[in-house]
A and B are shown apart, each in its own frame.
Chain A
Amino acid sequence: MIRFEPDRSQYPQPGDDGKLEIDLETGKYLKLWHGPNHPGITGNMSVELTLCGDEVVEGKVHVGYLHRGFEKLMERRTFIQVFPIVCRVCVPEPDFNEWCYAQAVEELAGIEAPEMAQWTRTLILEMGRFNSYMMAMGGIGGALGMGVIGQWMTYVRDLMLDRFEEMTGARIYHMFILPGGVRGHLPEGFAGRMEEVLATAERYLADVDKAMFTNAVFKARTKGVGVIDPALFEPYGVTGPNARAGGVAKDLRKDAPYLVYDQLDFEVVTETASDIWARAMVRRRDIDVSIALIRQILAKMPKDGPVMAKLPNVLHWKIPRGETYVAGESSRGEYGYYLVTDGSGYPRRVNVRGPSYTHAMALLEHLIPGTNIADVAALMVSLHTYPPEIER
């Protein structure tokens, strides 16, 4: 394959302090804002690019477009009042916030959710993961000019949202997992309707395989592009599919099983190339894992039983001083909640550890220099980042 090699003799050189000397007055460089409103940006954030020719020599990530001060808001609410707002930290996969928060509160308060709730929570997390991957697949197709992939995936995600709606009453923010358990049982005949969605998804995903992963343009623009050296994974806090695409077979569902994952049978998906193609492929194959897990959960879960543990009077619920960290494997990597309590009826501190915090900031800024301007969108989307996790 022939790749364009630009003339790099004109590129800025680092000064004694290691910083690039970029003098815009020379006319050699161009500042370009990639976002916050741009089809190639992953949500409300922007990257300030400095270009020399069509190659990026520096990229600075700017966030702050949707900061809502969630962590501060939580400190002013009782433990039960917090649960409806945590899901709003992350739009495409909100359920992870609900589970992490509920689990952290239960741990500090010494409560255990009933078995039925554990299975339902696992089902919801896998349905959320499926939806999040649908957006990721559509996003990577869209970033490389294949808008139809986004349309197919949006349709399939919408079918899954129908299942969420009948289960929880809501499509996006479900507020179904709360401290002590879940809000209810599955509706009658849910498994059958879910099977129809999964079968439809598989038909569309077979089309995605043909249209995207065997597409010559897709391969040319993703293989060998945006490679993350596996040596960077630990210094830069890279987890989840981004690390698995570089051969790191780490998945918290397997390594530190939570909920009922230890009773489920699944493989950790890995690739080795660590480029955009490998990251897209890990996600594509992980969708199959999610589909298989949803089927397993529906087949194995108990048919009835209590869904809520007995809670104290939630209006006067005080939790002893303590701290804990609850984390799980979200569709983007390690997602965790650090909860500190002080014996009062309010959390002292809630800190959300979203995988995008590391992937979209330090890692992206490190990866961007040397990228062709046309590949920046694909690189960003391949990291599967959501800005709300950075400014929560």
Chain B
Amino acid sequence: MMRDLHDHLKTRYRLGDLAERRANLAFVDVARADLRALLVELRDVHGFTHLSLLTAVDWIEEGRFQLTYLMNNRTANRSLGLRVFLDRADPVGDTIHDLWPTAATYQRELREMFGIAFPGSPRVDEEFILEGWTDMPPYRRDFDTLAYSQQTFSDREGRETHDPRAHMAKKLNPEGQR
């Protein structure tokens, strides 16, 4: 079924190969310029009316972000994940809040957590979860959580930190016998 749909759509849209995960779940790459028209056709013609989620994956080694639009046909219970790739150096996505108002929330989160711009999306530049954040978007792969914690927080006074390997060796074998 998903293959028929893919064959039908790829005559008019620039689509990659279909990656079938299950009988009712598949993923496909889509050219960014074709995304909106494809979403509208999937929604209005093929019954993919439910936006299950919109999220991003950081492929830092490849220098790009992947946006995943997971579309669901609730009558046929099939899901199609559309993958759109953005240049990591200047990530700008296309807002779809006019197609699904709930997408505005996802886009606001992606703006804050990955630094992906969605021009025209409502309240997209307002703080969503983070308040007064000045560092790089924290869900990017190159955000170092350990360094951030060490810079931002300090240890409680009197707290001792042990190297787990040395500590356990000492606990289990206090005499240091071989």
Contacts and interface: CB of A to CB of B under 8 A. Distances in A.
Given A64-B130, A237-B100, A361-B102, A353 B21 contact: no
A98 interface: no
Contacts of A71: 139
Interface string A318-339: 0000111101000000101010
Contacts of A361: 102, 105
B62 to A, nearest CB: 11
Interface stretch (B6-14, B47-55, B84-92, B170-178): B47-55
Interface in A336-357: 336, 338, 340, 348-349, 351, 353, 357
Size class of B's contact patch?
35 or more
A255 B102 contact: no
A76 interface: yes
Contact of B55 (A252, A255, A351): A351
B53 A362 contact: no
Contacts of A72: 138-139, 143, 145
Contact of A67 (B99, B102, B129): B129
Interface in B89-140: 99-102, 104-106, 127-131, 138-139
A349 B22 CA distance: 20
B129 A391 contact: yes
B101 A366 contact: yes
Interface string A67-89: 10101110110000000000000
In the A-B complex, the 9 residue pairs with the smallest Cβ-Cβ separation, listed nearest first, are: A64-B129, A351-B55, A362-B102, A256-B77, A361-B105, A353-B53, A237-B102, A234-B49, A349-B57
B145 A325 contact: no
Given A69-B138, A256-B77, A353-B52, A358 B145 contact: no
29 contacts: A63-B129, A64-B129, A67-B129, A72-B139, A72-B143, A73-B145, A234-B100, A235-B101, A235-B102, A236-B100, A239-B50, A250-B74, A252-B77, A255-B77, A256-B24, A323-B19, A323-B21, A323-B68, A324-B21, A324-B22, A325-B52, A325-B70, A325-B79, A336-B52, A338-B55, A349-B58, A351-B53, A362-B101, A391-B129
B2 interface: no
A237 to B, nearest CB: 4
A107 B56 CA distance: 21
B66 to A, nearest CB: 8
A353 B102 CA distance: 13
Contacts of A383: none
A363 interface: yes
Nearest to A337: B53
Contacts of A327: 52
Nearest to B140: A72
B104 A362 contact: yes
Interface string B54-86: 011110000000001010001001010100000
A235 B27 CA distance: 22
Interface of A: 63-64, 67, 69, 71-73, 75-76, 107, 234-237, 239, 250, 252, 255-256, 322-325, 327, 334, 336, 338, 340, 348-349, 351, 353, 357-358, 361-363, 366, 391
Contacts of B49: 234
Given A239-B50, A391-B129, 11 more contacts: A64-B127, A71-B139, A234-B49, A256-B24, A323-B19, A323-B68, A325-B70, A338-B70, A358-B105, A362-B102, A366-B101
Nearest to B139: A72
Nearest to A108: B21
A249 B161 CA distance: 55
Nearest to B57: A349
B18 interface: no
B100 A235 contact: yes
Contacts of B131: 64
A355 to B, nearest CB: 11
B25 interface: yes
Nearest to A248: B74
Nearest to A252: B77
A333 to B, nearest CB: 11
Nearest to A232: B101
B52 A348 contact: no
Contact of B81 (A236, A252, A323): A323
Contacts of B139: 71-72
Nearest to A237: B102
Nearest to A19: B122
